[in-house]
Structure 1
């Protein structure tokens, strides 16, 4: 699904495409990619709105699964901790937040798998 009908956000398929493109840019430009998964927000629709309004416009906010939102961010240095901290401030304490940062040398499926297992 390219777009989620409930939230209007990119869906699973579009998230995977954007992740793959971000990883290619990371490899070729020497940048980093952070994927953050937000599990079980109190309200997926509310969390989607809050994230879209509170994050940089170049971050991708997507609906990964029924009760999982994803944020994809490209950045020049560091890791995903500042991004995950900002997300925590926006969505509150109840959702589980898992993140992983890649330099582009990882397959999209492996990035997602790593984030899911943390």
Structure 2
């Protein structure tokens, strides 16, 4: 699905494409890409809108899974911590995990490293 009908954000398929393209740019341009997964227990739509409105316009905010949103952020240096901190400000009750790559890995591996454990 290209766009998620509930949140209005890019859906899973579009997220994977954008992450893949970001990893290619990181590898070829010598930059970095961070993927931040944000599991939301309540208020998914509100958190989706807060992230879309509160983060940089060039970041991809997408719905990854049922209760999980994803943010793809490209940057020249550092890691995903500043992005994760901003997300914590926008969604303080969310469960956040992130990973940063220089593009020398697969999309699946990036997703696996950033995976947010499901609540028991």
Short-chain TM bin: over 0.9
Q: Deviations over 1:44-69 (max 9, x none)?
A: 10001000110000000000001000
Task: Extract unaligned runs of 5+ from structure 2.
Answer: none
TM-score (norm 2): 0.94
Q: Deviations over 1:57-90 (max 9, x none)?
A: 0000000001000000000000011110000001
Q: Which runs of 5+ in 1 are unaligned?
A: none
Give me the CA root mean square deviation. Answer: 1.1
**Residue matched to 2:51:** 51
Contact kept? 1:41, 1:47, Cα under 8 Å: no
Normalising by structure 1, we get a TM-score of: 0.96
Residues 17-68 of structure 1: CA deviation (Å, up to 9, x unaligned): 0000000000000000000000124211000100011000000000000100
Question: Superposition pairs for residues 16-35 of structure 1, below 5 Å?
Answer: 16-35=16-35
Runs ≥4 residues deviating over 3 A: none
Structure 1 contact 41–91 (Cα < 8 Å) conserved: no
Distance between the aligned counterparts of 2:23 and 2:63, measured in 1?
19
